[in-house]
Amino acid sequence: MNSADFFKMAHGDLVWMRELAFDYFNETRRQMTGWLSLMETKNFSQLRADLHRCKGGASLFGLERLVALLSSCESPAVLERHGFDLTTFEHELSAAESAVEALGA
């Protein structure tokens, strides 16, 4: 996590920024429940759109590892050939949540 980017986006209101980040985490987890189904039904265009939006949010909060992971599968050929590793993504999302939580400690 790039904490400098996080603090910059907070504009001095760390409580608000952390709340916004956890809204993002919760919404991402809600979306994740459908990603496996999208892969199983080969609806890669919707999955790519979801992952792209998710990447935009991660970028906003300076979550560089999530951005890199999501960027690595933006190519239709890569996503369709290899799918999307939900386990790795969930691990990285949890790490990002912990990093944001630690900023308020």
Q: What does the pLDDT look like over 42-66, one tens digit per residue?
A: 999 999 999 999 999 999 899 999 9
The tally of domains found in the chain comes to: 1
Residues 59 and 52: their CA atoms lie apart, in Å, by 11
Range of the domain at 11: 3-103
Q: Residues 3-22: pLDDT tens digits?
A: 877 888 888 888 888 999 99
> So what's the pLDDT on residue 99?
92
46, two tokens: 């919707």
